[in-house]
Structure 1
Amino acid sequence: MTRPHRQRVLALTPRERLEAGWASLDIRENHRCVRGPQTGMAMVRGRMGGTGNAFNLGEMTLTRASVVLDDGTVGSGLLGHGWVSGRDHRHAELIAMIDACAQHERFRERIDELIASLYSERQAREQQNSREVAATRVDFFTLVRGE
Protein backbone atom coordinates (compact mmCIF):
# COMPACT_ATOMS: atom_id res chain seq x y z
CA MET A 1 0.00 0.00 0.00
CA THR A 2 1.39 3.38 -0.95
CA ARG A 3 1.71 6.21 1.53
CA PRO A 4 -0.45 8.66 -0.49
CA HIS A 5 -3.24 6.07 -0.70
CA ARG A 6 -3.02 5.45 3.06
CA GLN A 7 -3.09 9.20 3.79
CA ARG A 8 -6.15 9.70 1.57
CA VAL A 9 -8.10 6.87 3.19
CA LEU A 10 -7.24 8.08 6.69
CA ALA A 11 -8.18 11.69 5.93
CA LEU A 12 -11.55 10.68 4.45
CA THR A 13 -12.45 8.31 7.28
CA PRO A 14 -14.57 9.82 10.08
CA ARG A 15 -12.56 10.33 13.26
CA GLU A 16 -14.82 8.12 15.38
CA ARG A 17 -14.30 5.17 13.02
CA LEU A 18 -10.56 5.85 12.91
CA GLU A 19 -10.38 5.90 16.73
CA ALA A 20 -12.14 2.54 16.87
CA GLY A 21 -9.84 1.05 14.24
CA TRP A 22 -6.73 2.35 15.99
CA ALA A 23 -7.92 0.93 19.32
CA SER A 24 -8.52 -2.46 17.69
CA LEU A 25 -4.86 -2.60 16.54
CA ASP A 26 -3.72 -2.43 20.19
CA ILE A 27 -0.49 -0.64 19.30
CA ARG A 28 0.92 1.00 22.39
CA GLU A 29 3.58 3.38 21.13
CA ASN A 30 4.29 6.65 22.90
CA HIS A 31 4.77 9.62 20.65
CA ARG A 32 5.41 13.31 20.82
CA CYS A 33 4.25 16.02 18.49
CA VAL A 34 7.01 17.58 16.44
CA ARG A 35 4.69 20.07 14.77
CA GLY A 36 1.11 20.92 15.60
CA PRO A 37 -1.59 20.05 15.49
CA GLN A 38 -2.05 23.37 13.74
CA THR A 39 -5.06 24.74 11.93
CA GLY A 40 -4.65 27.03 8.95
CA MET A 41 -5.96 27.77 5.50
CA ALA A 42 -5.10 26.28 2.13
CA MET A 43 -5.96 27.63 -1.31
CA VAL A 44 -8.11 25.28 -3.35
CA ARG A 45 -7.49 25.50 -7.08
CA GLY A 46 -9.75 24.37 -9.87
CA ARG A 47 -9.79 24.03 -13.64
CA MET A 48 -12.74 24.82 -15.85
CA GLY A 49 -13.87 21.53 -17.32
CA GLY A 50 -10.97 19.81 -15.59
CA THR A 51 -8.54 20.77 -18.36
CA GLY A 52 -8.64 24.55 -18.63
CA ASN A 53 -6.45 27.17 -17.01
CA ALA A 54 -6.12 26.91 -13.24
CA PHE A 55 -7.97 29.41 -11.08
CA ASN A 56 -8.28 29.99 -7.34
CA LEU A 57 -11.58 28.49 -6.23
CA GLY A 58 -11.31 29.59 -2.61
CA GLU A 59 -9.78 28.72 0.73
CA MET A 60 -10.49 25.81 3.03
CA THR A 61 -9.60 25.08 6.63
CA LEU A 62 -6.89 22.48 7.05
CA THR A 63 -5.32 20.90 10.16
CA ARG A 64 -1.92 19.23 10.12
CA ALA A 65 0.23 17.38 12.63
CA SER A 66 3.62 15.68 12.66
CA VAL A 67 4.67 13.15 15.28
CA VAL A 68 7.70 11.07 16.12
CA LEU A 69 7.59 7.84 18.07
CA ASP A 70 9.45 7.78 21.39
CA ASP A 71 11.69 4.99 20.09
CA GLY A 72 13.91 7.71 18.61
CA THR A 73 13.17 7.36 14.92
CA VAL A 74 13.37 11.12 14.39
CA GLY A 75 17.08 10.77 13.57
CA SER A 76 16.30 8.31 10.79
CA GLY A 77 13.71 10.63 9.25
CA LEU A 78 10.70 8.40 9.94
CA LEU A 79 8.16 10.98 10.96
CA GLY A 80 4.43 10.55 10.78
CA HIS A 81 2.43 13.30 9.11
CA GLY A 82 -1.30 13.88 9.01
CA TRP A 83 -3.53 16.37 7.20
CA VAL A 84 -7.29 16.63 7.43
CA SER A 85 -9.82 19.17 6.24
CA GLY A 86 -11.46 21.11 9.03
CA ARG A 87 -10.34 21.83 12.58
CA ASP A 88 -10.18 18.37 14.16
CA HIS A 89 -6.80 18.31 15.92
CA ARG A 90 -7.24 14.78 17.26
CA HIS A 91 -8.01 13.45 13.76
CA ALA A 92 -4.82 14.97 12.31
CA GLU A 93 -2.72 13.67 15.21
CA LEU A 94 -4.22 10.19 14.87
CA ILE A 95 -3.45 10.12 11.15
CA ALA A 96 0.15 11.18 11.89
CA MET A 97 0.48 8.48 14.56
CA ILE A 98 -0.80 5.77 12.19
CA ASP A 99 1.52 7.07 9.47
CA ALA A 100 4.53 6.89 11.80
CA CYS A 101 3.70 3.35 12.91
CA ALA A 102 3.08 2.21 9.32
CA GLN A 103 6.73 2.94 8.53
CA HIS A 104 7.86 0.21 10.92
CA GLU A 105 7.91 -3.39 9.73
CA ARG A 106 6.41 -4.73 12.96
CA PHE A 107 3.20 -2.66 12.51
CA ARG A 108 2.90 -2.34 8.72
CA GLU A 109 0.87 -5.49 8.04
CA ARG A 110 -1.75 -4.75 10.72
CA ILE A 111 -2.07 -1.13 9.61
CA ASP A 112 -2.42 -2.16 5.95
CA GLU A 113 -5.26 -4.50 6.96
CA LEU A 114 -6.96 -1.61 8.79
CA ILE A 115 -6.55 0.69 5.79
CA ALA A 116 -7.95 -1.98 3.46
CA SER A 117 -11.05 -2.40 5.64
CA LEU A 118 -11.54 1.38 5.93
CA TYR A 119 -11.20 1.67 2.15
CA SER A 120 -13.76 -1.05 1.48
CA GLU A 121 -16.18 0.55 3.97
CA ARG A 122 -15.80 3.88 2.17
CA GLN A 123 -16.41 2.28 -1.22
CA ALA A 124 -19.54 0.58 0.11
CA ARG A 125 -20.83 3.93 1.47
CA GLU A 126 -20.12 5.64 -1.86
CA GLN A 127 -21.93 2.91 -3.80
CA GLN A 128 -24.93 3.16 -1.45
CA ASN A 129 -25.00 6.95 -1.90
CA SER A 130 -24.81 6.52 -5.68
CA ARG A 131 -27.77 4.12 -5.64
CA GLU A 132 -29.81 6.54 -3.51
CA VAL A 133 -29.01 9.45 -5.81
CA ALA A 134 -29.73 7.39 -8.95
CA ALA A 135 -33.20 6.56 -7.58
CA THR A 136 -34.08 10.27 -7.63
CA ARG A 137 -32.68 10.98 -11.07
CA VAL A 138 -34.92 12.93 -13.42
CA ASP A 139 -34.38 12.91 -17.17
CA PHE A 140 -35.32 16.18 -18.79
CA PHE A 141 -36.05 16.53 -22.46
CA THR A 142 -37.00 19.44 -24.68
CA LEU A 143 -39.97 19.50 -26.97
CA VAL A 144 -39.31 21.22 -30.26
CA ARG A 145 -42.12 23.04 -31.99
CA GLY A 146 -42.59 21.92 -35.56
CA GLU A 147 -42.46 25.22 -37.44
Structure 2
Amino acid sequence: MMQSETAQAHAARAAWLRILATAPADALDGAYQRLGQAQALPAYRLLRKPESGMAMVRARAGGTGAQFNLGEITVTRCAVVLEDGAAGAAAGVAYIQGRSARHAEQAAVLDALLQRPAWHQRVQEFVLAPLASTQAQRAAHAAATVAQTRVEFFTMVRGED
Protein backbone atom coordinates (compact mmCIF):
# COMPACT_ATOMS: atom_id res chain seq x y z
CA MET A 1 0.00 0.00 0.00
CA MET A 2 1.26 3.47 -0.83
CA GLN A 3 1.54 6.06 1.89
CA SER A 4 -1.54 8.00 0.76
CA GLU A 5 -3.60 4.77 0.61
CA THR A 6 -2.44 3.94 4.13
CA ALA A 7 -3.43 7.40 5.33
CA GLN A 8 -6.84 7.03 3.66
CA ALA A 9 -7.34 3.62 5.26
CA HIS A 10 -6.48 5.05 8.68
CA ALA A 11 -8.85 7.98 8.15
CA ALA A 12 -11.66 5.65 7.07
CA ARG A 13 -11.12 3.43 10.12
CA ALA A 14 -11.02 6.44 12.43
CA ALA A 15 -14.34 7.60 10.93
CA TRP A 16 -16.12 4.28 11.49
CA LEU A 17 -14.64 3.90 14.99
CA ARG A 18 -15.99 7.37 15.81
CA ILE A 19 -19.46 6.41 14.58
CA LEU A 20 -19.44 3.16 16.57
CA ALA A 21 -18.12 4.82 19.74
CA THR A 22 -20.52 7.75 19.74
CA ALA A 23 -23.65 5.82 18.76
CA PRO A 24 -26.22 5.36 21.52
CA ALA A 25 -25.82 1.87 23.00
CA ASP A 26 -29.40 0.83 22.14
CA ALA A 27 -29.05 2.02 18.52
CA LEU A 28 -25.79 0.11 18.11
CA ASP A 29 -27.35 -2.98 19.69
CA GLY A 30 -30.29 -2.83 17.29
CA ALA A 31 -28.03 -2.44 14.26
CA TYR A 32 -25.81 -5.28 15.50
CA GLN A 33 -28.87 -7.54 15.88
CA ARG A 34 -30.13 -6.67 12.36
CA LEU A 35 -26.72 -7.53 10.92
CA GLY A 36 -26.74 -10.85 12.79
CA GLN A 37 -30.21 -11.65 11.45
CA ALA A 38 -29.13 -10.93 7.88
CA GLN A 39 -26.15 -13.30 8.12
CA ALA A 40 -24.66 -15.30 10.97
CA LEU A 41 -21.77 -13.41 12.52
CA PRO A 42 -18.46 -15.28 12.82
CA ALA A 43 -17.24 -16.42 16.21
CA TYR A 44 -14.71 -14.20 17.92
CA ARG A 45 -12.25 -14.42 20.77
CA LEU A 46 -11.72 -11.68 23.32
CA LEU A 47 -8.16 -10.41 23.29
CA ARG A 48 -9.02 -7.91 26.00
CA LYS A 49 -12.36 -8.34 27.74
CA PRO A 50 -14.38 -5.16 28.18
CA GLU A 51 -12.91 -3.21 31.07
CA SER A 52 -13.71 0.23 32.39
CA GLY A 53 -11.28 2.83 33.61
CA MET A 54 -10.67 6.54 33.74
CA ALA A 55 -9.10 8.82 31.14
CA MET A 56 -7.89 12.38 31.70
CA VAL A 57 -9.47 14.93 29.38
CA ARG A 58 -7.11 17.71 28.33
CA ALA A 59 -8.29 21.08 27.05
CA ARG A 60 -6.86 24.40 25.88
CA ALA A 61 -7.92 27.80 27.14
CA GLY A 62 -9.64 29.54 24.25
CA GLY A 63 -8.87 26.58 22.01
CA THR A 64 -5.31 27.76 21.38
CA GLY A 65 -3.85 28.50 24.80
CA ALA A 66 -1.88 26.36 27.20
CA GLN A 67 -3.20 22.86 27.90
CA PHE A 68 -4.75 22.02 31.24
CA ASN A 69 -6.42 18.97 32.78
CA LEU A 70 -10.17 19.48 32.45
CA GLY A 71 -11.23 16.35 34.32
CA GLU A 72 -11.65 12.61 34.10
CA ILE A 73 -14.19 10.54 32.18
CA THR A 74 -15.07 6.87 32.38
CA VAL A 75 -13.96 4.86 29.35
CA THR A 76 -14.54 1.19 28.46
CA ARG A 77 -12.24 -0.63 26.07
CA CYS A 78 -12.35 -4.02 24.37
CA ALA A 79 -10.33 -5.94 21.75
CA VAL A 80 -11.41 -9.00 19.77
CA VAL A 81 -10.15 -11.21 16.95
CA LEU A 82 -12.47 -13.13 14.61
CA GLU A 83 -12.12 -16.90 14.64
CA ASP A 84 -13.32 -17.65 11.12
CA GLY A 85 -9.92 -18.89 9.96
CA ALA A 86 -9.32 -16.09 7.47
CA ALA A 87 -5.68 -15.26 6.82
CA GLY A 88 -4.38 -11.98 8.19
CA ALA A 89 -6.91 -11.72 11.00
CA ALA A 90 -7.04 -8.14 12.20
CA ALA A 91 -7.97 -7.23 15.71
CA GLY A 92 -11.09 -5.20 16.29
CA VAL A 93 -10.83 -2.58 19.02
CA ALA A 94 -13.18 -0.13 20.67
CA TYR A 95 -12.95 2.64 23.23
CA ILE A 96 -16.25 4.13 24.31
CA GLN A 97 -17.26 6.72 26.84
CA GLY A 98 -19.07 5.24 29.81
CA ARG A 99 -19.32 1.78 31.35
CA SER A 100 -21.24 -0.22 28.72
CA ALA A 101 -19.28 -3.45 28.27
CA ARG A 102 -21.78 -4.68 25.66
CA HIS A 103 -21.40 -1.51 23.59
CA ALA A 104 -17.59 -1.80 23.66
CA GLU A 105 -17.65 -5.50 22.71
CA GLN A 106 -20.11 -5.00 19.85
CA ALA A 107 -18.12 -2.03 18.52
CA ALA A 108 -14.91 -4.09 18.62
CA VAL A 109 -16.55 -6.98 16.71
CA LEU A 110 -17.90 -4.56 14.10
CA ASP A 111 -14.44 -2.97 13.76
CA ALA A 112 -12.96 -6.42 13.07
CA LEU A 113 -15.71 -7.15 10.51
CA LEU A 114 -15.18 -3.83 8.77
CA GLN A 115 -11.55 -4.76 8.18
CA ARG A 116 -12.69 -7.83 6.21
CA PRO A 117 -13.52 -7.14 2.54
CA ALA A 118 -16.22 -9.85 2.60
CA TRP A 119 -18.05 -8.09 5.46
CA HIS A 120 -17.23 -4.44 4.87
CA GLN A 121 -20.16 -3.55 2.59
CA ARG A 122 -22.75 -5.39 4.72
CA VAL A 123 -21.60 -3.68 7.92
CA GLN A 124 -21.62 -0.33 6.11
CA GLU A 125 -25.19 -0.96 4.94
CA PHE A 126 -26.73 -2.46 8.09
CA VAL A 127 -24.80 -0.59 10.79
CA LEU A 128 -22.72 2.43 9.80
CA ALA A 129 -25.07 4.12 7.32
CA PRO A 130 -28.09 4.13 9.67
CA LEU A 131 -26.00 5.21 12.68
CA ALA A 132 -24.25 7.97 10.72
CA SER A 133 -27.58 9.21 9.36
CA THR A 134 -29.09 9.34 12.85
CA GLN A 135 -26.03 11.14 14.22
CA ALA A 136 -26.15 13.69 11.36
CA GLN A 137 -29.86 14.33 12.02
CA ARG A 138 -29.16 14.85 15.74
CA ALA A 139 -26.30 17.25 14.95
CA ALA A 140 -28.45 19.20 12.49
CA HIS A 141 -31.26 19.45 15.05
CA ALA A 142 -28.82 20.66 17.71
CA ALA A 143 -27.32 23.22 15.30
CA ALA A 144 -30.79 24.49 14.38
CA THR A 145 -31.72 24.81 18.05
CA VAL A 146 -28.55 26.76 18.80
CA ALA A 147 -28.97 28.93 15.69
CA GLN A 148 -32.29 30.20 17.07
CA THR A 149 -30.44 31.96 19.87
CA ARG A 150 -27.71 33.44 17.65
CA VAL A 151 -27.19 37.16 17.99
CA GLU A 152 -25.39 39.10 15.28
CA PHE A 153 -23.51 42.17 16.35
CA PHE A 154 -22.59 44.92 13.93
CA THR A 155 -21.07 48.35 14.15
CA MET A 156 -22.60 51.36 12.52
CA VAL A 157 -20.13 53.84 11.15
CA ARG A 158 -20.88 57.48 11.77
CA GLY A 159 -20.26 60.04 9.10
CA GLU A 160 -17.62 61.81 11.17
CA ASP A 161 -13.85 61.24 10.80
Distance 2:95 2:150 in 1: 38
Aligned pairs for 1:43-122 (under 5 A) are: 43-72=56-85, 76=88, 78-113=90-125, 114-122=127-135
Q: What's the % identity of the aligned pairs?
A: 39
Partner SS for 2:78: strand
Q: CA RMSD in A?
A: 2.1
Paired residues in the alignment total 139
Gap change, CA 1:45 and 1:110, over 3 Å in 2 = same
Question: Shift of residue 24 of structure 1?
Answer: 1.6
> Quick one: distance in 2 between partners of 1:77 and 1:47?
39
Render the CA deviation track for 1:24-47: whole Å, top value 9, x for unaligned.
223421112110201001110001
CA distance in 2 between partners of 1:140 and 1:7 (Å): 37
1:9 alignment partner AA: I
Whole-angstrom CA distance in 2 between matches of 1:111 and 1:126: 23
Which position in structure 2 is the counterpart of 1:29? 42
CA separation in 2, counterparts of 1:110 and 1:119?
15
**1:9 shift after superposition:** 0.5
**Structure 1, unaligned runs of 5 or more:** 142-147
For 1:64 and 1:21, locate their aligned partners in 2 and report how far apart those are by CA, in whole Å. 20
Name structure 2 gaps, 5 residues minimum.
1-8, 154-161
- Misfit runs of 4+, over 6 Å: none
Classify 1:3/1:140 alpha carbon distance in 2 versus 1 (closer, same or farther; 3 Å). Answer: closer
Whichever residue aligns with residue 7 of structure 1, its letter is L
Question: Could you tell me whether the CA contact under 8 Å between 2:19 and 2:128 is conserved in 1?
Answer: yes
Q: CA deviation at 1:122?
A: 0.6
Partner of 1:144: none
Q: Which amino acid aligns with 2:13?
A: R
- Matches of 2:88 and 2:67 in 1, distance apart? 38
